[in-house]
Structure 1
Amino acid sequence: MRHAFRAQLDALHGGIANLCDHAGSAMDHATEALLQADLQIAEDVIDRYNDIAYLCTSLESDALVILARQAPVAGDLRAVVSSLKDVADLQRMGALATHVARISRRRHPAIAVPAEVADYFGEMGRIAVRLSEDTKNVVLARDPDQAAQLNVDDEAMDELHRELFAQVMNPGWSHGTVTAVDVTLLSRYYERFADHAVDVANRVIYQTTGKQQR
């Protein structure tokens, strides 16, 4: 029974790692669509969210089967429940990528962000992809030290978010209210994407060390 439980839990972690790939790829392509005003890529990101949602539903079902058949307790129970929360975070990350793609589609054929802030979003996209890759590695390795390193990229994302907000609020902003709203929302989507990745990593820290992260 113990061997079966470990095999099922490993398979669950493998599925979550796969979700990290899907979320990172979605945000990577959403960023490309945003900066190039590429309608086809934006549509693909939006359409492929169905794949992410399906994978999430499947993993949630797998986790519930483990709970029902294995009746885990203590740390094992915590691991399965944490996996359910991880799936929810990663589904949200996929949804945030679609939000970016929807703004790109809405403003097509124009580019949704002014040229002077485009580099901010390019960097946010790179950080988002890196966070997805690092989250995948953390999920598979269960390494709390590696998990803690995600906070560095999260802080970099937060700083970019603050800088973009300052740009929009600057009295010299000349791109109007609609664009200001788009930039603010887009920045928030990337910032929240990073937060969800860190939430997954923090659960790994808690599962392996018993210490809650703030």
Structure 2
Amino acid sequence: MMIANLHSPILSPAEYLAWEAEQDTKHEYENGKIIAMTGGTIPHSQISANLAALLIPHLRGKGCKVAISDAKVTTPSGKYYYPDLIVTCDDRDRFARDFLQYPTIIVEVLSPATEARDRGIKQQHYMLIETLQTYILITPDRPRIEIYQRRSDLAWEYLSIAIEPTDLEDKNTTNDPLIQITSLDLTFPISVLYENINFPSEPNDL
């Protein structure tokens, strides 16, 4: 998603939630300010859909929810964000309507407009959520996925997997590394995540 700062007075969380419920578009909330969310690219949306298509059947019957882009998550520091994908398996989120509080996984698909925040302030505050076990960053214009997996209250393990776009375009390639999301006991090849994605000739040629 793209972002745009709105010139607005400082709002309390309750005021933000009441205000946003009446809006036609989505807005994040950070430090008392609202941030408008605008549309992303087709590859951005396709990657979220591909991952959801993997997760939903895998988690069926396990008491987990998979939400894409339209679901807010709140952090212990009082921020409200719209991740590209959220998985929550916590009973406390079972009847949530306005926002989720206890995610197991948060995924952000990167874009030039959001990458700094996804790697910076948003990542910092996501990792304050005690139930969060995995934070994933996905690059849409080349095959790359970065995974942060919680090992303790303060320690996270980082893994980056990247291949050349030509490896995915070659149907006979043997370079199709497996992605492991240990918190969900899920393993899948990176090619499935990028199914139906056509890569630009230059990494930044979106």
Task: Please give the TM-score of this superposition, normalised by the length of structure 1.
Answer: 0.24
Instruction: From the two aligned structures, give the one with the greater helix fraction.
Output: 1
Task: Please give the TM-score of this superposition, normalised by the length of structure 2.
Answer: 0.24
